[in-house]
Amino acid sequence: MMRTYHCFMLLFWAGQTHQSFLTPLSKRTSGFPEKEKVLVLSGNSRQDLHRSKRSWMWNQFFLLEEYTGTDYQYVGKLHSDQDKGDGSLKYILSGDGAGDLFIINENTGDIQATKRLDREEKPVYILRAQAINRRTGRPVEPESEFIIKIHDINDNEPMFTKDVYNASIPEMSDVGTFVVQVTATDADDPTYGNSAKVVYSILQGQPYFSVESETGIIKTALLNMDRENREQYQVVIQAKDMGGQMGGLSGTTTVNITLTDVNDNPPRFPQSTYQFRAPESVPLDSPVGRIKANDADVDENAEIEYSITEGDGYDMFGITTDKDTQEGIITVKKALDFESKNLYILKVEATNTHVDPRFLYLGPFKDSATVRIQVEDVDEPPMFSRPAYIMEVKEDVPLNSVIGTVTAQDPDAAKNPVKYSVDRHTDMDRVFNINSGNGSIFTSKPLDRETLLWHNITVIAAEINNPKQSSRVPVFIKVLDVNDNAPEFAMFYETFVCENAKAEQLIQTLSAVDKDDSYNGHQFSFSLAPEAASSSNFTLQDNRDNTAGIFTRKTRYNRHETSTYFLPVVISDNDYPIQSSTETVTIRVCACDHRGKMLSCNAEALIHPTGLSTGALIAILLCIIILLVTVVLFAALRRQRKKEPLIISKEDIRDNIVSYNDEGGGEEDTQAFDIGTLRNPEAIDDNKLRRDIVPETLFLPRRTATARDNTDVRDFINQRLKENDTDPTAPPYDSLATYAYEGNGSVAESLSSLESVTTDGDQDYDYLSDWGPRFKKLADMYGSMDSDKDS
């Protein structure tokens, strides 16, 4: 490489240390003691004007990782050919880790590493070196770049990608079957030595498995490994670097290998014969017993299907598989009968449902066993000869006539006698009865097909010795029809004929019905009753289709002469015995217009044209009723009013409440009571009866003590109050008696006229004029009283 300026030249000298390049350091160590690495900075003087050829002889330093010494690790030495050894030059260092991880002696150019280096963290450091004039600070050489490479050592063991591997293979696999591949990695430099070369080996798991040393693939090493003998295997694999040589580092991992199941085992019954017992009364589809064939396989390889291959109970019993327990459940398909057969022998076969053809050489994947079923005798209820009975009886059959017979017998060997009865819940009216000994059913009440066509009853057969053993059978009894009902009109016929009707005019068509049943259809015949056949004003024509028509015999009818005709009609059927009835058709004579439309059928309406209609009569009747109710209410109110108390005299000593809204008139306001009576009790007539109500019962008057003159009004009122409380002729308790009396202790003193009456001396009422306009009325009243006295 050609340059026009000075350049660094790295020289690598082998042998003893060159004395001219060494400068004593306080801390100096050598990674390679036998060699010294010197980076020479050479070049001509800056005054040289010709180009000089430069070439790099060396531009790298090498340093071992993981240095464990106590001193700084020596890296190499920088030297410039401008350095005369007089200390005028200064070496500086920059780049990766300069000043921290790498330091330089500025006088000698020696480079040292201050810390342990790890190639796995950073394998290469790029730095720049330069020599400058210590006095001027100007560089004497251009800046040169060099590299420090970290030499790898085997300080990392191989690491597996997983701590634990899990794998599975089918049992009975061939030798060399792939199981799983394990992988280990080494963080050391794979390009430098064998530090990162990993080989695999098996530490645990032989002779069942093997591992390929270079790939880590685990394979089977043993033939016919059986899951039923051993299912789980644990294999330990080692990965070692340095190609597996002595001194290499290693790591291990665990591989859990599971053998999965294949169908290599047939089902096997643990015993050749099974015995079960079943009562003959067991219901259909009920289980009799369970059998199970064992299969060493699991899951679907152990699924078993059971079947009955032969035996005398092939059609009497069935077998199904319980999917949860893989048991065979034997069930009853047909009813058992101890008296007919009490022992059944079956051959049951168990077969795998999923067979692997690879293992058919091991033998058939099925097994068989014998099942013996013993039928036990039980006390069974009687059995009827039929599941149901249908009987027919005519509705006119005489009472106690036998209509049919039911039969039941005890199926047991004892053949216990049976008695019969009718379930009365199905025959509430007790229309039928049954002979308890022979089961014959007979009527106990008359039958009517038109009322009830079918009778559904239940007959009970029970053992006489054990009535709890009973059975039931339905009996359907159909009542057959006989001709016992006469035909009748389909509806009530009431028609009319116009007064101006013509002869042979159809006025009504008749039809009939019959309650009886007719297999060939009803055939009715119509005719007039013999008593009306010759004298009737109408004729009857049978239409031969179960209808008939009524025709007029004459021209014009007069409703004033005959307003209504009653035409008897005889209806007969053609069954045996013949039934007939006489029905009546009502025909009214009515006034019609020229088109034959009815106007009126009431003859009295024409005779009394001014008569009242029905609506008018109803209105009159309602008015009369309302009037009567009004009179009754008025009388009741009058009767009640007589008992109410009436004040008829001002002299009555009872107090009354007077309501008014104007201002009182003082002493002149004495309309409510007699003040003189209150002050003169002796004036009261004790023999005077109450005049406010009509006395119903006369009581003897009570004598009251006379009050003394000038007695206090309060004492007088208390005395009268006590007398009224004990007086049987007093008013009711809800009467109100008011006594207004102000005591002597009033601060304002009393202004009542009652007090003025008791005053013996004259009083001066002039002060009332000084109380304002509100008392002007009182002042005028009392002033006038004084004037009257003086006069």
User: Tell me: the pLDDT tens digits for 485-543?
Assistant: 889 898 999 999 998 888 888 999 999 998 888 777 788 889 888 888 777 889 899 99
104 φ, ψ (degrees, to nearest 5): -130, 140
Using DSSP bridges, classify how beta strands 470-480 and 389-394 pair: parallel, antiparallel or unpaired. Answer: parallel
In which band, very low, low, confident or very high, does the pLDDT at 360 lie, cut at 50, 70 and 90?
confident
pLDDT reading at 17 higher than 60: no
* Burial status of residue 329 (CB atoms within 10 A of its CB: 0-12, 13-18, 19 or more): middle
- pLDDT reported for residue 625: 94
Question: According to the model, what pLDDT value does residue 378 have?
Answer: 86
pLDDT band with cut points at 50, 70 and 90 for residue 92 = confident
Task: Tell whether pTM > 0.85.
Answer: no
Q: How many helices (H) and strands (E) does the chain have?
A: 7, 43
Mean of pLDDT values over 203-214 = 92
**Beta carbons of 517 and 449 less than 8 angstroms apart:** yes
Name the band, by pLDDT with cuts 50, 70 and 90, for residue 121. confident
Location of each CATH 2.60.40.60 domain in the chain: 60-151, 159-260, 273-376, 383-480, 488-600
CA distances for 36 relative to 17, 27, 74, 422, 432, angstroms: 6, 16, 10, 132, 138
Look at the block and give the residue holding tokens 């160590």. Answer: 29
Q: Is 140's pLDDT higher than 90? A: no
The reported pLDDT for the residue numbered 725 is 75
User: Which is nearest to 414 in space by CA: 376, 463, 374?
Assistant: 463
Q: Which residue has the higher pLDDT, 749 or 50?
A: 749
| Cα 58 to Cα 33: distance, rounded to the nearest angstrom | 19
Average pLDDT over residues 459-465: 94
Which of the four pLDDT bands, split at 50, 70 and 90, describes residue 646? very low
How much is the pLDDT for 769?
77
At 1 the pLDDT is 32
- CA-closest candidate to residue 98, choices 129, 132, 121: 129
pLDDT score at 733: 57
The percent of residues above 90 in pLDDT, for the chain, comes to: 34
| 408: pLDDT strictly greater than 90 | yes
Residue 559 DSSP one-character state: T
Q: What is the mean pLDDT of residues 639-644?
A: 66
The share of the chain scoring above pLDDT 70, in percent, equals 76
Cβ 265 vs Cβ 296: under 8 Å: yes
| 60-151 to CATH, choices 3.40.50.300, 3.50.50.100, 2.60.40.60, 3.90.550.10 | 2.60.40.60
- Quote the pLDDT of residue 343: 93
Residue 614, Cβ density class (10 Å: 0-12 exposed, 13-18 middle, ≥19 buried): exposed
pLDDT for 610 equals 43
- CA nearest 210: which of 246, 242, 235? 235
* Nearest of 35, 226, 64 to residue 151 by alpha carbon: 64
Whether the pLDDT of residue 553 is over 80: the answer is yes
Q: Residue 452 has what pLDDT?
A: 92
pLDDT of residue 40: 55
Q: What is residue 359's predicted lDDT score, i.e. its pLDDT? A: 84
Q: What is the pLDDT of residues 280-336, one digit of tens each?
A: 889 999 999 999 999 988 988 889 999 999 988 888 999 999 999 999 999 999 999
Q: How far apart are CA 583 and CA 591, in angstroms?
A: 26
Q: Which CATH number is 159-260 given?
A: 2.60.40.60
Taking residues 146-155, report their average pLDDT. 78
State mean pLDDT over 702-717: 60
- Residue-wise burial string across 564-584, b where 16 or more C-beta atoms lie within 10 A, e elsewhere: ebebbbbbbbebeeebebebe
pLDDT of residue 613: 62
Mean pLDDT of the 606-624 span: 70
Query: Distance between CA 564 and CA 607 in Å, rounded?
Result: 17
58: left (phi over 0), alpha (psi -120 to 50) or beta: beta
Mean pLDDT across 684-698: 47
pLDDT of residue 52: 35
pLDDT (0 to 100) of residue 137: 83
Report the alpha-carbon distance of residue 231 to residue 580 in Å, rounded: 102
- From 58, 41, 31, 59, select the one nearest 5 (Cα to Cα): 41
pLDDT band at 37 (very low <50, low <70, confident <90, very high): low
> What is residue 706's predicted lDDT score, i.e. its pLDDT?
52
DSSP sequence for 128-158: EEEEEETTT--BSS--EEEEEEEEP-S----
Q: Which amino acid is at 343?
A: L
Which segment, 91-95, 197-201, 375-379, is predicted with the most confidence on average? 197-201
CATH superfamily membership of 273-376: Cadherins (2.60.40.60)
Q: What is the pLDDT of residues 497-512, one digit of tens each?
A: 998 888 888 999 999 9
Assess whether pLDDT exceeds 70 at residue 639. Answer: yes
For the cut 80, the answer to whether the pLDDT of residue 455 exceeds it is yes
Superfamily of the domain at 383-480: Cadherins (2.60.40.60)
Distance CA 651, CA 490 (A): 89
Q: How confident is the model at residue 71 (pLDDT cuts 50, 70, 90)?
A: confident
Cβ-in-10-Å burial (0-12, 13-18, 19+) of 496 comes to buried
Instruction: Report the distance separating Cα 481 and Cα 515, nearest Å.
Output: 10
Three-point CA angle 767, 772, 775, nearest 5°? 70
> In terms of C-beta distances under 8 Å and separation of at least 24 residues, what long-range contacts does 614-622 make, across chains too?
none
Q: What DSSP string runs through 419-472?
A: EEEE-TTS-TT--EEE-TTT-EEEESS---TTT-SEEEEEEEEEESS-TTSEEE
CATH architecture of 488-600: Sandwich (2.60)
